[in-house]
Amino acid sequence: MNFKKIALVAVLAVSQVASAVPAFAVAASTTVVPNSTVALEATPTPVLEPEATDPLPSLQPTSVVSPTATPLPVSSSIPTATPMPTVTPMPTATPIPTVTPIISATPEATIQPTPFAGQSLSTSGNNQLVLLMNSNKMYANGILYLANQPMAVKKGVSYVSIRAMVERVGVKFIYDYKTKETIVTSGDNIMRFKTDSKIYTVNGNKVTMKGPAYQYKNTFMIPLTSITAALGIPYTVDNVKKQVILTLNTKPTASFTVQPTEIYAGQTTVNFITSSSSPNGTAIVDERWEGNKQTIYDQPGFYAVTYSVMDANGQWSNPYTVTINVIQPNQPPVANFTTDKDEYKMGEPVTITDLSSDPEGDVLTTEWMNRSLAFFNPGPLSIQLKVTDTHGLSSIFEKTINITTEQLYTREEVEKLFTPQGDVLTSDGGIIPALPNLTYNLSSEPYTLIRSNSPETVNTEGVLYRETAFGATRFLVHHKNNMSTRQKVYIIATNNNLYPTTITTQYVGFAGPASSPEYTGKISVLKYYSSLLNGGNIGSVTLQPGESVPILTDTSKIAMKPGEIISLSADLFSDYPVQYNVIMVEQTKDPLVALPTLPVLDRDGIHNRGTYPDSTRIINVTDVVGTTQSKLLLGDNKSDLNLIGVDPMNGTEASNSGNFGVLYKIKLDRVAPNTLITFNPRGGNYLGSVVANGTIVNLQNKGSLANADMSAVVYRTGQYETSVELMFTVASGSNLPVNFVFTPLPALK
């Protein structure tokens, strides 16, 4: 009989037996054939995809690098086999369900690797997996395994069988028929791969591979660099020996966290929450704590705690150390204050200095009992202060002063002379309408006001305002979302000119979204004043012909929930006419795409909208003010007439009721010595602010001016005549008209 033919038949038989083993790579063995021994290496090499010149980056070359990996020659004839020193029968394969992890076939004997012609191998390193280029041979810790497909190169990317890798690395592998994904589990990390996709996920996070995964002869092939990256396996490339050497980490890992994050000495119970895993799924069987691990730490300081775990193979993890900062327990605050005297006349101002403190520097909440500008009943009087820190600890301090029977000021005199700016003094509001109104010179600055305030309550998506304006332009936008979905307000600027147009944003005040219209109005005006006082010129944008862009983008940063309101006060300048669209659309929509399809919404019949010229009013009073009580009335449409403009959406005349959006610049050239200036609402609740000689004054500091008997202190002059400048704009959500009242102060004693 022809022994070469017998050898070939034997090799094919071995190959068929090996293909029946479900494990992707089995330990190599040889088969005894009568009168001849043929190594398994003689199995014909499958035809591979075209190779690239540089399939893998050379991370740590072990010798001179050859630029091209030479593939094994494919020959129709069987080369002469080199007999192996030991012959071991092929183990019988046991079928395993597809969706369970593949169980590795265990080699029965260690096979010394056989090098290719002219090649020496490095295959005996501990915890190393050596892949031979263009071959299905793999050496794990010196033991030869055969993969079901050779390592291949496709379009410059080196591919390996995913089964070949995960089996030898020792991690779990399943196939999910529902999602059609190959799933690799390593410790707490779950990786999912799909055929013909360059994307795989690690715990849901997408990662891009160098090439798409693909199927070849029922084998799932993926880029080698993707699986090494996914599993965190370092590797080196030896192009001379034509091998890739992977260094496998078989140590378990350990970590822990400490709860809570703030630990106080002697008070806090410390919980140590551990986490551990093994890269190859080996069970964790032991743990070890080192350092200063305590449930309660008695003293403040830094404590190092170290945690390690051991797996079933007896391998210990690297130690994991956390340094715990144990801080001094929270101490209660210290309430304290002083008075400038211990004894006072009736009506004599009591000056109190708060000296309270907190050991940790917390911001303290204060509560006063019996604190007043002055007292009007003789006898001993106790003043009490309670302070509370952010942790809820409190402290109380009390001091007793004595009030004599002698009187210095009346109650009314005390309020006029000593009430702080922004605080309220009570008076008979009924006398104010009868006071004489100041005589003044009125002029204006040419700011075009766009007031978008109707429909104030918006029930459907649409265009709230559309206007073309040029030069100095002021916006007042105040709207409420009355829809069931979250909405955004956009102001879109469109350049319909033949030339580029630049829009410069000068001053901006924005508030919201919030549920209170008075609050959003107050905060937007407050921020607008701050912008004015800080010099403005926030930024600019240049629009090309035909271009549209959202501007004043604070309005759309946060979507409005149902029932919420936004308020905007803003000044800008354009060097050419610009079309402005104020729109409200559902939060996920692109405003530029939605704009052409949006309807123009009607007015609500209650609130105002319109375009008004000359919206900066300059009031100049040249007469002496404050020698007798007088007032300056604004927003009544009699002494202070409404701006007249147009509603551009329907072409009708519009009257700016209340003159919302108008900036009043009030110049009082001569204010008498010892003059009190107060702010008094006449139309109902008011919540806003005013600028007095460069200082922003709240109206009022706490709460709102709820009725006409309440007046907030704006300014006091001193002993000499002086000029006073006021800036005022009506806060959206508040009521008109309002008065500035000028009152002579009583003499100081």
Residues 386 and 438 in one domain: no
pLDDT reported for residue 122: 54
- Gap between the Cα atoms of 221 and 223, Å rounded: 7
Model confidence at 646: pLDDT above 90? yes
- Gap between the Cα atoms of 269 and 295, Å rounded: 6
- Gap between the Cα atoms of 290 and 305, Å rounded: 6
Residues 538 and 651 in one domain: no
Residues 518 and 378 in one domain: no
Residue 410, phi then psi, degrees to nearest 5: -80, 170
pLDDT reported for residue 407: 96
Residues 222 and 295 in one domain: no
The parent domain of residue 600 ranges over 447-612
10 Å CB burial of residue 501 (0-12, 13-18, 19+) is buried
The residue type of 732 is S
Q: To the nearest whole percent, how much of the chain has pLDDT over 90?
A: 66
Residues 314 and 349 in one domain: no
Residues 489 and 600 in one domain: yes
Q: Which CATH number characterizes residue 304's domain?
A: 2.60.40.10
The two structure tokens encoding residue 514: 């919030």
Residues 497 and 593 in one domain: yes
Q: H/E/C letters for each residue in 680-746?
A: EECCCCECEEEEECCEEEEECCCCCECCCCEEEEEEECCCCCEEEEEEECCCCCCCCCEEEEEEECC
Domain-embedded: residue 380: yes
Model confidence at 127: pLDDT above 60? yes
Residues 687 and 650 in one domain: yes
Among 574, 592, 612, the domain-final residue is: 612
Model confidence at 82: pLDDT above 90? no
Domain-embedded: residue 358: yes
Strand-pair partners of 215:
220
Averaged pLDDT, 692-700: 95
The tally of domains found in the chain comes to 5
Among 586, 612, 638, the domain-final residue is: 612
Q: Which CATH number characterizes residue 212's domain?
A: 3.30.457.10
Q: Are the beta carbons of 263 and 323 closer than 8 angstroms?
A: no
Domain-embedded: residue 739: yes
Domain-embedded: residue 482: yes
- Gap between the Cα atoms of 692 and 696, Å rounded: 6
Domain-embedded: residue 297: yes
- Gap between the Cα atoms of 595 and 582, Å rounded: 10
Q: How far apart are the first and last CA of the chain?
A: 137
Residues 546 and 594 in one domain: yes
DSSP type of residue 330: P
Domain-embedded: residue 683: yes
pLDDT reported for residue 125: 58
Distances (CA, A) of 748 to 348, 422, 683, 742: 11, 21, 34, 18
Domain-embedded: residue 120: no
Lowest mean per-residue pLDDT among 92-96, 309-313, 356-360: 92-96
Residues 403 and 461 in one domain: no
Q: pLDDT tens across 155-197, in order?
A: 889 999 988 888 787 777 888 888 888 998 877 788 999 999 9
Model confidence at 481: pLDDT above 80? yes
**Confidence bin at 278 (pLDDT 50/70/90):** confident
pLDDT reported for residue 228: 86
- Gap between the Cα atoms of 452 and 603, Å rounded: 10
